[in-house]
Every structure is written in structure tokens, then in C-alpha cells.
Structure 1
Amino acid sequence: MSIANDARFWDRASRKYAKGAIADQAGYERTLDRTRALLGPADRVLELGCGTGTTALRLSSDVQTYLATDVSPGMIAIANEKHAAKPIPALAFRTATAEALAPDAGQFNAVLGFSYLHLVRDLPGTLRRIHALLAAEGLFISKTPCVGDMNPLIRLALPAMRAIGKAPYAGVFRAAELSRHIHAAGFDILTTENHATKGNDNRPYIVARKR
């Protein structure tokens, strides 16, 4: 399995994904509101793992520039279709990963990763890369499933599902482990929140500042 395999999986799933409903709409709105409050009109924002662009289209009107990226060309194609129907001058979509972006340090004031970090294959390396892309004291904002804190049956099922093409790569870590990795990459964690409004949720909303 490789990043190319991941891209092909999400390409195949992109149209179905685009039609899917958000499981916890109220929790999602809380995440958007909280993130919007952290961004300013002069900010240059990068979103990693933007999917079909739903979050980017909601947040990009309030900042100077907003680059939304995803590993899947299929996802980005759908995002561009949405953007064409509702143009936002500050927003651009690109097929890319954090590692593939130009190495100019300090080009973003904020990097967003929603449902992203559990999908990367080198968590420490990706976090270091995010750190390099941020300006001094820039913010990294994450909300991602911590599979290690979920039902053990999910962890057991993932390898079998990947083997038959029914799941992408997913890293298994707990929330405490994720926090340690973020700190080790050069960030100070400012807050960790739970935005769920129904059911159990193992996706901590983390705001971290580059030090």
C-alpha cells in the first residue's frame, strides 16, 4: 500500500462521499465556529485533506488566502465543481499533500487538518512538515479520529478491510499519543476540546501554536 493507493481509494469513493450526510451536524458547526474565531482577515490558511471542499467553502470568505488540498484528484475535481458554482476569490483547490507543497517556510498563518492526521503514513514527519509551513507562532488546528481510543473491533477490522479495498490506510493512535507527537514536532497545545453533540466521539479538536 502507498500514497498512490490511498489516492485511488478516495478517487473511487469521491462521488459517494460527496453525497454523504455529516453524522453530527451540530458538532461540525461548532468546529466551524470555533475555527472561524481563530482566523483573521489577513491570515493565509492551508487546509490539508480538504475532501470535496465543504469546510473550505465555509471558512475561506473570512481570510486573505485559503489553499485547500487533498491527495485525491477525484475529491479536488468535485471541490472545484462546487467552487465554480459559488466562486470565492480567496480560495484555491489543489491536489497535494503537506509533503508535496513547496518548501518555503513560514508561508501560512494557520494550517487546518480535519479528519486528516489518522490518514497519513508518517505522523511525526507530517507534523514536522506542517511546522515548517507555518509562520512564527502560526496555528495548527486538528480534529481527527483517534482510532486507538475506539472500539477494539474497529482496530481489528481495519487490516482486513484494507486488504479487500474497503478502507484506506488509517493510523492507530490514542489522543494522548497524538498530543505527544504534536508537542514533539515543535508545538505548544493551547486547547483540546470535544465538539460532539451526540454519541461517543474520539476526535479531539486540538489548537496548537508553533514555538
Structure 2
Amino acid sequence: MSEPSAFWDRMAERYSRKPVADEAAYQKKLRITRSYLHADMEVLEFGCGTGSTAITHAPYVKHILAIDISSKMIEIARAKADAAKVANVTFKQAAIDDFSEADRAFDAVMGHSVLHLVEDRDGIVSKVHRMLKPGGVFVSNTACLGDRMKFFKFIGPIGTFLGLMPMVKVFTTQELIDSLTGAGFAIDRQWKPDKAVSVFIVAKKAG
């Protein structure tokens, strides 16, 4: 079984060339997110991949710190930002676990296609809540395989052991919502495209 960072390093080039599966849904999520963004915002994105979402949102905020565990993903993201002449996004190889909420407070945090890939979902969600300023938002898009693909919890570990896929946690949309509300968030927006397994949520910290 390989380490998660090694898996994503191997996948980075292929991942960067892969088209968005549902472009219309992706654009809708971008529009919803932008409705929460302001020019003076400090934003954190964890699990940023090759940086496309951070670069897209960069014109609407003051600064984005975008992190990912894969050095190859970050390398590609930096090249994309340079090509797009985007100067207000800092790409850094790091995991959300590396950050202390005492170090910095953010106006918004984004975590797309990542909460089903972490070992301790509740711990990460609680940490994000602490890292946000009062009134801040956590924008996430998460595969909730427990809604439709419960069998995946039995076959997924085999693929992970063989190095064919990362570790994937199986849970339902309601279990994800319970994690968010249990950490102190209020659900401000929730949307799932038809037949999709991923749910898009904007959760707000009281402020």
C-alpha cells in the first residue's frame, strides 16, 4: 500500500489533463462560491490538486493559500498560475493537519473532493471551524458514496492495498451534514446534481 502523497504524485499529470466530468455543474458551483467571496478575503483551500479552482476564484479575493499533499500537483498548479499571470495565490505542499488554527484565521475555507479521502473527517471539519473567522464559510464538494454505493466500503480497500486508488471513506450525505453541524456549522447552501454522488455544501460559522 502506497502513501497518499505518492499516489497523487503518480496521478498528477493525468489528473491535470482530465476534463471536468460535468462542466455545467462545476460552473454552477463556482458561481455559488463566488456569491460568498469578497475582495478583502483571505482564503484557504486544502486538497487543491492542480489549482484550477483556486486560480478561477483568485480575482474575487485578496489572497488564497492553496495546499495539497502532492508535490507534483503543486508544481503543476504553480505553472498554471504563472501562465495565467495570477499573483495572489500561494501554492504550498502541505496537509491540513500541518496547520495550527492559532497561526492564522481565514474568511473562507474550501475543500473540494477531499473530505472522503481523510482518515478523521470529524477532526478535519472541527479544525476548519476553528480556523475560520466568525461568520466565515466552509465550501466543500464531497463524494458521499454511502448514498448510492455502500458496497464500495468492501471493494475500495482492495484497490487501496494494490496501489490502484487512494483510501476512500464511505459515508452518507446525512453523516457529512452531522459532521458539519456537530462542529458548530450551520448549513447555508446544499446542492447535489441529479445522479451525482457528490454533494456541494456551503457551511457557515456563526459570527
Per the TM alignment, residue 210 of structure 1 is displaced from its structure 2 partner at its CA by: 1.2
Instruction: Write the distance in 2 (CA, Å) between the matches of 1:116 and 1:7.
Output: 13
Q: Is the 2:152–2:170 contact (alpha carbons within 8 Å) kept by the matching residues of 1?
A: no
1:70 aligned to 2:65?
A: no
Instruction: Pick one of 199, 204, 207 that aligns with 1:209.
Output: 204
TM-score (norm 2): 0.94
- Name 2:92's counterpart in structure 1: 94
- Name 1:175's counterpart in structure 2: 173
Q: Is the 1:124–1:181 contact (alpha carbons within 8 Å) kept by the matching residues of 2?
A: yes
- Name 1:50's counterpart in structure 2: 48
Question: Deviations for 1:35-62, whole angstroms, at most 9, x for unmatched residues?
Answer: 0111111111111111000111111111
Identity among equivalent pairs (%)? 35
Instruction: Write the distance in 2 (CA, Å) between the matches of 1:89 and 1:106.
Output: 20
Instruction: Write the distance in 1 (CA, Å) between the matches of 2:11 and 2:197.
Output: 23
- Name 1:119's counterpart in structure 2: 117
Q: What letter corresponds to residue 80 of structure 1 in structure 2?
A: R
Instruction: Write the distance in 2 (CA, Å) between the matches of 1:201 and 1:139.
Output: 23
Per the TM alignment, residue 152 of structure 1 is displaced from its structure 2 partner at its CA by: 3.6
Secondary structure at the aligned position of 1:38 is classed as coil
Secondary structure at the aligned position of 1:75 is classed as helix
**Runs of 5+ unmatched residues, structure 1:** none
- Name 2:147's counterpart in structure 1: 149
Q: What letter corresponds to residue 124 of structure 2 in structure 1?
A: T
Q: What letter corresponds to residue 201 of structure 1 in structure 2?
A: A
Instruction: Write the distance in 2 (CA, Å) between the matches of 1:80 and 1:151.
Output: 35
- Name 1:13's counterpart in structure 2: 11
- Name 2:106's counterpart in structure 1: 108
Instruction: Write the distance in 1 (CA, Å) between the matches of 2:38 and 2:6.
Output: 35
Instruction: Write the distance in 2 (CA, Å) between the matches of 1:193 and 1:32.
Output: 12
**Count of matched residue pairs:** 206
Instruction: Write the distance in 2 (CA, Å) between the matches of 1:155 and 1:6.
Output: 18
Q: Is the 1:141–1:208 contact (alpha carbons within 8 Å) kept by the matching residues of 2?
A: yes
Per the TM alignment, residue 74 of structure 1 is displaced from its structure 2 partner at its CA by: 1.0
TM-score (norm 1): 0.92
**Runs of 5+ unmatched residues, structure 2:** none
Instruction: Write the distance in 2 (CA, Å) between the matches of 1:109 and 1:153.
Output: 38
Q: What letter corresponds to residue 50 of structure 1 in structure 2?
A: C
Q: What letter corresponds to residue 67 of structure 1 in structure 2?
A: L
Question: Deviations for 1:69-125, whole angstroms, at most 9, x for unmatched residues?
Answer: 111111101101111211212111111122212432661000011101111111111
- Name 2:58's counterpart in structure 1: 60
Q: What letter corresponds to residue 187 of structure 2 in structure 1?
A: I
Per the TM alignment, residue 153 of structure 1 is displaced from its structure 2 partner at its CA by: 4.1
Alpha-carbon RMSD across the aligned residues, in angstroms, is: 1.5
- Label 1:159 to 1:60 Cα distance change in 2 as closer, same or farther (>3 A): same
Secondary structure at the aligned position of 1:186 is classed as coil
Q: What letter corresponds to residue 210 of structure 1 in structure 2?
A: K
Q: Is the 1:105–1:132 contact (alpha carbons within 8 Å) kept by the matching residues of 2?
A: no
| 1:31-42 correspondence runs (5 A) | 31-42=29-40
